[in-house]
Structure 1
Amino acid sequence: MVKRLFLLLSLTFLNAGLLRAQLYDQYNHPELEWHSFDTEHFTVHYHQGTELTAFKAAKIIEEIYPAVTATYNFKPKDRIHLILRDTDDYSNGGAFFFNNKIEIWATNLDYVMRGTKNWLRDVLTHEFTHMVNIQKIIKSNMTFPYGFIQWFGYEKERRRDVVRGFPNVLVSYPVSSVNMPVWFAEGTAQHQNDRARFDYRDPHREMILRDRVLHNRLLTLNEMSIFGKTSHGNESSYNQGFAFVNFLVEQYGEKVLSDITEIDSHWSSYTFDGAIEKATGTSVDSLYRRWKQQLRRRYTRQTATIRAHEHKGRLIEKEGFANLYPVFDPDGKYVAWISNKGRDYFSQNRLIIWDREEGSKKELPVSGVSSSLDWSPDGRYLVYARQDRDRHMSSLNDLYLWDVKNEKEIRLSYGLRGSNPSFSPDGRSIAFVSATDGLHALNLLRLPQNPESETWREVAYNVTTGRLLPHKAETIYQRDVRVRASELIQLLAFEDGRQIYHPRWRPDGRRIVFGTAVEYGRNIGQYDLETGKFSILMKAREELRYPVYSPDGAWLYFSSSKTGIYNLYRVKSDGGPAQLLTNVTGGAFMPTVNNRGEVAYACYDSIGYKLAFMARPVALDASLARYDDDYPQSVPVKNFNDDTIPEYATRPYKTTFTRTQILPRLFIDYGTVKPGFYITSSDVLDQFSLVAGAAANRDLDYDLYAYAEYKKMAPTFF
């Protein structure tokens, strides 16, 4: 009996590990110390290091509560649980509408398919909109949200001692009381509402939609209704849903969103398409056709001059939709970048090196790069960041070198949460961005003379402020870090939420430039290493991204959305007007310049980021790139103030279960009807969950099932 029990437990742990490894952040975190506090409508739960984000989130979500609930004329019946996490270098949010909880990761979103806005306000409004409009359309109630029709069939028995053969038919069909396509769910969450709107049709979203329209690749209405595509396809469901919902609001007013959800909340509404037709008086297919025609007319008209005078250089990589962060080696002979060529997701990338003289491309055995990259001044090393699991199974960004000469990878850190590294002109230091609880800091890693030496330094970062500490972690509010460095220096740490993007050195080594933002749009900032001061170098309402100096320091190259379309520009380092270098209908990003003045960049074209090359670009006539003269004025101005954050009375977290759900089931088993049910419940942090089921027929042949999961420790117990 003891042996059988041990075997059962061993298999349980093994299976749990295999299953959980397939899901993001499904690892247990017993090292976290959770706390809770209450606001008028929410109970907020957070762990050490996320207190600032939790307090700010509580303020924000209470501010948006009246606007979102008024838009849909619906208030959730139960108190909603808001959970803040910062266990991973991961940016997302989720609305678990049946469980009455919202989860938010504190890391700010920096995604090559989206523009810049205030992350916390945007994601909270997005997820709370999900919570409200989806709970409103539940046709039954939160206790009985859905059920199942199930049928088991069996092989014909072959022996007298076998009561029933092995199951050969297993059918389980869910009957849901929720009926909402992806395009409407995500479209309304991005549209938000007139009184609480922190998202907008940024130039990235417009680029993706415009490109699909001009290349006749717009998703159909059915394709917009589901996920399960590539990264690009899934993002297009979000994007087109946002644009289509905006179209509905333009045609019928914002009240149409509440009307649609109200109609769909009744059992008499069999299809969501029918609810839209009843609310608008027009079939959804007809609305889609009108919207598609409107888009084609608009984008064809606005890009007519650009298409007649397009200037983008030569595409050197057309395959894959994520060819990103190109960088010339110091001699200008090679270009390195990351590419997902032949793969379905942005994260499935590889490092590529293009030999310009031979025309060959070499794929390096490095995958999952999560940042921009840079060459060392001697051309021997590439530096980049990619994610790995730490001892708590958190997925964090760490720095690595690729030794081009010896063709091997050298790890520079453990637990650093560092990204977007850049070599100093003398090759002795690497500038990089560190992150914690949504806060950014600019740091320097001084390399040892031999990067492969075992010169490891043990330091810590304060998980609340992101400040570097010159000693090992001493409390749970500090994060242990190991770096292969002679010295680790923190240059700049923002505690107001200002973000730092893709730092690059000025060739004289005296300044570091980078993209920076704290609200809508991006500016170009700089840090002066001699004075130790930060300042804004270039400021505009639009997006200014990816600044990089020419090797001689004479020019600053960057990408700007000033016309409504991203193009490459350059300005003289000592001042002067900006010169337009590209004229594209998609977008031009991430320039890199060699000592001959040649430029490589990421060109968004034909459903994805390609790699383009220009030999000594010259200034173009800016009038030929006109697209939307009023674009800068369309960028929202800051419409919030989060400078003052209230304090809340907190308490240690106590296990709190969500509403118990009863899921009816109609079970057809060996020709008999077995009505029954499932019961499910879990605590809000998913540390404990329970599922039980029962079914019986008129002969009192019954089935019983129960399953419990305990996840407060490192292993999961069942």
Structure 2
Amino acid sequence: GIGNESVYNAGFALSKYLSVKYGSESLKKIMASLSKPMNYSINKGMKYGTGKEGKKVYDEFVTVLETRYETLTQSVLENEVKGRIIQDNGSANLFPTWNEDGSKIAFLSNKDHDYFGSTDLFIYDMKTKDLKKIAKGIYSKPAWNKNVIYYSKKAMKPNKVGSRYYDLYEYNFRTKKEFQITRDGRAFSPVFSSNDSTLFYLSTKDGTHNIFKIDLNSKFTEQMTRLNNREILGGLNYDMKNNRLIYDITTHHFKDIHYLSLADSKSGGMMENALWDERQADFISKGMVYSDDRSGIFNLYFIGKDSQGYLTNVPGGAFMADVHKSGKIAYSLFENGAYKIAILDSISMMSDSNVGYTPLYFQRNKNLSAPMKEKIDIGPSKYKDHFPPMFTMPRVTMDYGTFKPGFYFYSSEILEKVSLIGGASVNRSIDLDLFFLFEYKHLYPTYFFEMFYLTRNTEERTAYSVYNLDSNLKFRLIEFRGGLRIPFYGSSFELFGSWSRYRASIKDEVVGKPQLQSGFGYDYFLGNKAGVKWSLKQYKKRIDQNINPVGYELNVNVAQEWNQFIEGLDLSESGTLISKFNKHNLVRSEINGKYLWDIPKTNRWTLSMGGQVGWISNTSADSFFHFFAGGMPGLKGYPFYSLEGTNMAIGELGLRIPLFREKHISMGWFMLQHATIGFIGQSGDAWNRVISSFSAKHSAGIELRFSGYSFYNYPTSISLEYHRGLNKFQMDIGDGKPIQYGGENRMYFTILFGF
């Protein structure tokens, strides 16, 4: 899109400027400075590389560009010809196409979307000026056929392996219904031929572009070309007068215009200049119109039987011309960083001398390196995994009042066929957190393996008879989890199994007499689990998707658990302490989901509705295996363990309002981009269905979100939440001292990769 291209162009221009003015060694110095662990500022790196503050260097660079551009475009601005603009909402308004009588124009637009490629199909009425959206997610130029229009888009629902390809569709304006023409065809750029009710289109396969046709009556598909040298095709069109297809082709640096005769299947070049680019030709009885950049700027050019010349003179660019038989031309005008739909009311040519930077600007291309045409004979070999160097990132947490530093490590194979991520952290009590996640994607299912290892150490002073004891308690939790994930029509099935062991140990020492000590260890939980998880997610792609998403997701999790939980300690035949277990086997079922949507006529205010329910089959299972419905995963106004039971139900409503978007506020290594404020209301409960019933508890809260990037690359999401439980209730944990919950304020603070 425009953003990616602009970043590339600006970066290349800045690098060239630095190299010319400050020497090529300045680039090396800047990169060396940026690679230092404690330098998070490009400004500081520029200072080291050039001797000047980065902001000053950048201002000088911008001044040079502006001065050069003003000089080059002075004649263009004084003699500008662009017609009239009919659509300028959005940054990508593309492929305008007249209907037969010239009363309507179909075009693609990313109006109401953030990204260049998120385009919908619109119809503009020339008489009423009305604009109507016909279809979403359209790609490439549409084609009219009276009351039907053809276009290309990805299917709404993926196929059974989770892939979504571009296919051809038709929309009937009378029935207002859409019909899919191809299936997994990788098809785009349709062209309709009324001679034989045929659609011609482009398709990709194995890195090649070729022209195909499909008979709309028989649905028979035929490949028209056999290009196999990685040519890139585009701009497919139909020349009715000469009964041939016209298309753009890129073989090396420039685009050229070629033809394919439908009468005898001959093909060849029409416009193939070696020093400039020609593209997107359209034909009428008087001649042809196309776009070229021989003057340094893309403008529309007309070639007729007796005359030829430029039709536009714009400072940005003129593309994608579509000529009606009346002589009116609709095209896409690039101006001020966006593509707009413009119309020329007639074919009127101008002098070449005032067009673009200069009529001879193309001569700058004479010294371009020659295309590399020689083939390199390299025998085929089996692909081997290629891993870049391991990424590491510091990790700092405050956990149960202790400072716990650590690190993350991550590496992914270049094609993401294999990936691994892990982390470790430890505090002064030698409480250790380790995790490791591994994914293998070489085969149809994704295989995964996960490992978690945690230790906790605590000390307390107790008394036994007349002795004071220092008791050191240690807990060790270890779990291995593995399985496979299978795509299924846009959703994902996960088959998993896990193995868990929780162990505790106690060491007692008489205070003042370290030689008098005793200790023992025991397992208190042995668990195995097997289950299936189904997940469906669909979110609109937009620039603030992470912090303020719009869409929905649904997760269903069902697992059989074989649990053994300690009942007490017993003596073995050899006189050692062993754990005595009870079985707590059960089936655990959980469903959770949420739906988020924009509030119309607001600046991206979003409403959200979500919920989660849970059910355990074994009502006599120990509370260790119950659902806990408080804390961050549940009702946030109450502590995690305050709500527990064999059943759980929670509902949530929320409102999120953007505070700002697309800012770039530098804060050391962190670049702040977006911020929102949210208001959250929750209601729910967890209960044991045998001894109690559902009794709704309510919670209300507010959340501030901030998102951006750390160290130029890592997404960083910061959340600060304040919640209050609105109901008061008591819980007896068995010691005869009821604990009261509710009516208290609770705060949550997180720094993660996402929300």
Instruction: Give the conservation status (yes or no) of the 8 Å contact 1:425–1:507.
Output: no
Equivalence for 1:102: none
Instruction: Give the conservation status (yes or no) of the 8 Å contact 2:315–2:356.
Output: no
Q: Does 1:570 find its partner at 2:337?
A: no
Output the CA distance in 1 between the equivalents of 2:424 and 2:32: 34
Q: Does 1:303 find its partner at 2:73?
A: yes
SS at 1:603 equivalent = strand
Q: Does 1:417 find its partner at 2:186?
A: yes
Equivalence for 2:314: 584
Output the CA distance in 2 between the equivalents of 1:624 and 1:695: 67
The structure carrying a bigger helix percent of its residues is: 1
Question: Within 5 Å, which residues of 2 pair with 1:189-588?
Answer: 232-267=2-37, 271-364=41-134, 366-376=135-145, 379-388=146-155, 389-426=158-195, 428-448=197-217, 485=219, 487-508=220-241, 510-540=243-273, 541-550=275-284, 553-572=285-304, 574=305, 577-588=307-318
Q: Does 1:620 find its partner at 2:347?
A: no
Instruction: Give the conservation status (yes or no) of the 8 Å contact 2:140–2:188.
Output: yes
Larger Rg: 2
Instruction: Give the conservation status (yes or no) of the 8 Å contact 1:421–1:502.
Output: no
Output the CA distance in 2 between the equivalents of 1:277 and 1:536: 52
Task: Find 1:707's aligned residue among 414, 428, 437.
Answer: 437
SS at 1:303 equivalent = helix
Instruction: Give the conservation status (yes or no) of the 8 Å contact 2:208–2:230.
Output: yes
Task: Find 2:370's aligned residue among 630, 639, 647.
Answer: 639
Equivalence for 1:63: none
Output the CA distance in 1 between the equivalents of 2:178 and 2:224: 27
**Distance apart, 1:498 and its partner CA:** 2.1
SS at 1:530 equivalent = coil
**Distance apart, 1:700 and its partner CA:** 3.2
Instruction: Give the conservation status (yes or no) of the 8 Å contact 2:191–2:236.
Output: yes
Task: Find 2:381's aligned residue among 650, 656, 667.
Answer: 650
Gaps of 5+ in 1: 1-230, 449-454, 456-484
SS at 1:613 equivalent = strand
Output the CA distance in 2 between the equivalents of 1:445 and 1:284: 57
Equivalence for 2:490: none
| Range with greater deviation from structure 2 (662-671 or 535-544) | 662-671
SS at 1:493 equivalent = coil
| Range with greater deviation from structure 2 (328-337 or 699-708) | 699-708
Output the CA distance in 1 between the equivalents of 2:38 and 2:133: 57
Deviating above 6 A after TM superposition, structure 1's stretches of 4 or more consecutive aligned residues are 654-658
Distance 1:507 1:664, change over 3 A: closer
Instruction: Give the conservation status (yes or no) of the 8 Å contact 1:682–1:688.
Output: yes
Note the aligned Cα RMSD (angstroms).
Answer: 2.5
Sequence identity (%): 29
Output the CA distance in 2 between the equivalents of 1:391 and 1:509: 43
Output the CA distance in 2 between the equivalents of 1:308 and 1:656: 55
SS at 2:202 equivalent = strand
Instruction: Give the conservation status (yes or no) of the 8 Å contact 1:425–1:505.
Output: no
Distance 1:646 1:302, change over 3 A: same
Distance 1:666 1:602, change over 3 A: closer
Output the CA distance in 2 between the equivalents of 1:654 and 1:252: 42
SS at 1:370 equivalent = strand
Encode CA deviations 1:215-244: one digit per residue, 9 max, x unaligned.
xxxxxxxxxxxxxxxx54454333322222
Distance 1:624 1:692, change over 3 A: closer
**Distance apart, 1:677 and its partner CA:** 3.9
Instruction: Give the conservation status (yes or no) of the 8 Å contact 1:658–1:682.
Output: yes
Distance 1:683 1:368, change over 3 A: same
| Range with greater deviation from structure 2 (689-698 or 508-517) | 689-698
Distance 1:517 1:696, change over 3 A: closer
Equivalence for 1:203: none
Encode CA deviations 1:615-645: one digit per residue, 9 max, x unaligned.
1131112222141344212336453424423
Distance 1:418 1:643, change over 3 A: farther
Output the CA distance in 1 between the equivalents of 2:236 and 2:168: 15
Output the CA distance in 1 between the equivalents of 2:37 and 2:66: 37
SS at 1:293 equivalent = helix
Per the normalisation by structure 2, the TM-score is 0.55
Code of the residue aligned with 1:237 in structure 2: it is: V
Output the CA distance in 2 between the equivalents of 1:699 and 1:424: 78
Output the CA distance in 2 between the equivalents of 1:598 and 1:510: 22
Distance 1:393 1:240, change over 3 A: same
**Distance apart, 1:269 and its partner CA:** 5.0
Equivalence for 1:218: none
Distance 1:489 1:709, change over 3 A: closer
Output the CA distance in 2 between the equivalents of 1:649 and 1:596: 56
Instruction: Give the conservation status (yes or no) of the 8 Å contact 1:520–1:637.
Output: no
Output the CA distance in 2 between the equivalents of 1:263 and 1:659: 20
Code of the residue aligned with 1:528 in structure 2: it is: S
**Distance apart, 1:687 and its partner CA:** 4.3
Code of the residue aligned with 1:251 in structure 2: it is: K
Distance 1:255 1:494, change over 3 A: farther
Distance 1:660 1:539, change over 3 A: closer
Encode CA deviations 1:409-466: one digit per residue, 9 max, x unaligned.
1111011111111111426111111112321111221210xxxxxx5xxxxxxxxxxx
Distance 1:413 1:694, change over 3 A: same
Code of the residue aligned with 2:81 in structure 1: it is: H
Code of the residue aligned with 1:546 in structure 2: it is: Q
SS at 2:81 equivalent = coil
Instruction: Give the conservation status (yes or no) of the 8 Å contact 2:314–2:356.
Output: no
Code of the residue aligned with 1:569 in structure 2: it is: Y
SS at 1:508 equivalent = coil
Output the CA distance in 2 between the equivalents of 1:337 and 1:631: 32
Output the CA distance in 2 between the equivalents of 1:661 and 1:580: 53
Distance 1:328 1:300, change over 3 A: same
| Range with greater deviation from structure 2 (278-287 or 695-704) | 695-704
Output the CA distance in 2 between the equivalents of 1:338 and 1:613: 15
Instruction: Give the conservation status (yes or no) of the 8 Å contact 1:515–1:523.
Output: yes
Encode CA deviations 1:563-598: one digit per residue, 9 max, x unaligned.
1111111112x5x55321111111111111112111
Task: Find 1:695's aligned residue among 425, 444, 448.
Answer: 425
Encode CA deviations 1:120-139: one digit per residue, 9 max, x unaligned.
xxxxxxxxxxxxxxxxxxxx
**Distance apart, 1:658 and its partner CA:** 6.4
Output the CA distance in 1 between the equivalents of 2:256 and 2:288: 14
**Distance apart, 1:672 and its partner CA:** 2.6
SS at 2:280 equivalent = strand
Distance 1:363 1:270, change over 3 A: closer
Work out which structure has the larger RCO, using CA pairs closer than 8 Å and 6 or more positions apart in sequence. 1
Output the CA distance in 2 between the equivalents of 1:314 and 1:322: 17
Encode CA deviations 1:510-562: one digit per residue, 9 max, x unaligned.
21111112011111111122232211111222111110101xx3311111111
The structure carrying a bigger strand percent of its residues is: 2
SS at 1:700 equivalent = coil
Equivalence for 1:96: none
